[in-house]
Amino acid sequence: MIIFFHLFSLKLLFMINITHLFVYIFFYINITNIIKEKNRGTYMNDIKVIVMDVDGTLTNSKKIITKKTKETLIEAQNNGILLVLASGRPTSGLIDFAKELEMDKHHGLLVCFNGSKVIDCETNEILFNETMTVEEGQAVLEHLKKFNIKPMIDKDDYLYVNDVFDCNIQIKNEPFNIIQYEARGGKFKLCEKDNLVAFADYPLNKILTAGDPEYLEEHYKEIMEPFKDSLSCMFTAPFYFEFTAKGIDKAKALDTVLTPMGYKREEIIAFGDWHNDISIIKYAGIGIAMDNAVDVLKKVADEITFSNDEDGIAHILNKCLPIYCLT
């Protein structure tokens, strides 16, 4: 009986200690989260720059900036926050979005061609521009002839391709007119050039290639192999693979322009969804992945917000920047 009593006492003591341990852990986790949220709130209130990718981030699936997101971003500017659109798109493909957000009234910045050019959209001043050399561009275009992909380059108001009628790729087993999609998105007129290599006698900001997602996934290493150490080579969508000058990415463009303007990394919040957004998510003081983002981006983000179809940008800004009373 005495032995049984001692065993029962030990078991009860053990259960009490375990209960205390769980209470302590629960208390610690909650206090830690409260402290983090408090610090994070103070940190968020220091935000002076909002950087956003466009496709899959700022715009929804219909390529539209929703009313809520638009109103939130315009109000942020009215409270002194700088807006930056950072995209693989050419300048011409960003201007309309910038005007819709009234960035042309607040010296908003356009980071174009995945970071190879930066423009003040109020003054149209080019703040940064780093291209491939003519020789690099021609070498890439020559190499691409070996693959079943569609190279595209731009100059002034035109998008140049080999064949405007060879325009479809397969996405989810359905034909998709990628030439038309890119031309309309960039506000380009179309022009054929049988030999893009000979035509490209000028420095290129970017060489865009399009192909079936499965084909690109299978062959992208071969496509980039001769240039992996001399150029920046990256996916910007499952059906897009691009080349820019060595070291070029969105973060380098931001750092080159924003640092001389007096902005600090910890004053920047960045939103993105794809591989070419990883650099800005890592660079910014706070990096936010959209819920529709690729997994590799979510892993390096500080937080995941709602998708681009659910006003993910507005959700975070209204939640974390209450000091500005955003709509």
Name which residue leads in pLDDT, 311 or 42.
311
Predicted pLDDT at 12: 43
Q: What is the pLDDT of residues 206-227, one digit of tens each?
A: 999 999 999 999 999 999 999 9
Predicted pLDDT at 322: 57
Name which residue leads in pLDDT, 27 or 249.
249
Contact (CB, 8 A) for 64 and 312: no
Q: How far apart are CA 40 and CA 50, in angstroms?
A: 16
Predicted pLDDT at 169: 96
Q: Report the candidate in 227, 250, 238, 237 with the shortest Cα–Cα distance to residue 141.
A: 227
Place of tokens 């659109």: 85
Q: How far apart are CA 87 and CA 89, in angstroms?
A: 5
Rounded to 10°, the helix 312-320/67-78 angle is: 40
Predicted pLDDT at 17: 52
Report CA Rg, the chain.
Answer: 25
pTM exceeds 0.75 for this model: yes
Q: What is the pLDDT of residues 15-68, one digit of tens each?
A: 445 544 443 344 333 433 433 443 444 355 689 999 999 999 999 999 999 999
Assigned token pair, 142: 């020559």
Predicted pLDDT at 320: 75
Q: How far apart are CA 302 and CA 55, in angstroms?
A: 20
Q: What is the DSSP string of 140-174?
A: HHHHHTTSS-EEEEEETTEEEES-TT--EEEETTE
Please report which confidence band the pLDDT of residue 327 belongs to, taking 50, 70 and 90 as the band edges: low
